[in-house]
Amino acid sequence: MDGLGEKSTGKTVAIVVLAFVCLVLIGLQFLQKGALNKAPSYDKFAGVTNDSFEYQNYKMCVNTCGKCEVNCKDSLLRDSAMNKRDESFCSQMSEEWARTSCANSIYSAKALAEKDKSYCEKITEELMKTDCTASVVTELAVAQENIELCNQAPEGRADSCKESWHYRMAIKNGDESQCSQLANTMSQDMCRNEVKMAKQMQMPTAPASATPPAAVPVPAPAPVTPPAPTPEAAP
């Protein structure tokens, strides 16, 4: 009898454990369904309106991304920073490296847009700072049509500045002689082709609404008078 009682008790424990496991699995399924059916929540961001293009992209990201809301937020903040050239959005990003990269990109964009090297000095990544300064110097040289400004470029960048200056001045002023100053034949040929294309695009064309020349009037033919009848001789 003792053996039978132990077997019965073992079966009962096994059934209870199995029932418990089933209940846990069913509960997890309900929790998962609830999480899937739960409406997504959207954060608010200073300086970003709910109807803006950036915010609509953020909502779409949250709706489709699942558990990567942080990536959606950082994407929205970076897009807002770039579109508005406002580094204050970068400071709201989640990771330090992301905040730094975002701010450096804004400083570079501002430097080129305003032709102001002081923004380049705020960039923390050295190669990016050098590229920024060289680009601004080139823009200033072209804008002022003064190749001597290229000598203000960072070390090792003056020659590339002068190459860009000759190329862009050739196109800007339609001057193919500037192309001959370029270092290699391929660049010279490309430069001359660009100058020719620029000139063709600037050629004036007759407006579509031009009035055609007036037609020369043709005089009407003179009326033909029939000859008078010849009188018959008397018999």
**Is residue 232 very low, low, confident or very high in pLDDT (cuts 50, 70, 90)?**
low
Across the chain, which distance is largest between two alpha carbons, in Å? 177
Q: What is the pLDDT of residues 202-224, one digit of tens each?
A: 766 545 444 444 544 545 555 54
Does the residue 211 lie in any domain? no
Does the residue 169 lie in any domain? yes
Residue pair 102/87 in contact (Cβ under 8 Å)? The answer is yes
Does the residue 76 lie in any domain? no
pLDDT for 182 beyond 80:
yes
| pLDDT greater at residue 150 or residue 37 | 150
Q: Please enumerate in sequence order all residues whose Cβ is within 8 A of that of 148, keeping only pairs 6 or more positions apart, or say none.
A: 141
Does the residue 41 lie in any domain? no
- Cα–Cα distance for residue pair 161/133, rounded to 1 Å: 11
Does the residue 191 lie in any domain? yes
Phi, psi (deg, nearest 5) at residue 55: -70, -35
- Specify the number of domains making up the chain: 1
Does the residue 173 lie in any domain? yes
pLDDT for 159 beyond 60:
yes
Phi-psi region of 40 (alpha: psi -120 to 50; beta: other; left: phi over 0): beta
Give the domain extent around 167: 126-201
How large is the average pLDDT for residues 85-99?
92
Does the residue 149 lie in any domain? yes
Does the residue 67 lie in any domain? no
Burial 168-205, CB ≥16 within 10 A → b, else e: bbbbeeeebebbebbeeeeebeebbebbeeeeeeeeee
Whether this model's pTM surpasses 0.75: no
Q: What is the pLDDT of residues 11-32, one digit of tens each?
A: 665 665 666 666 656 655 555 5
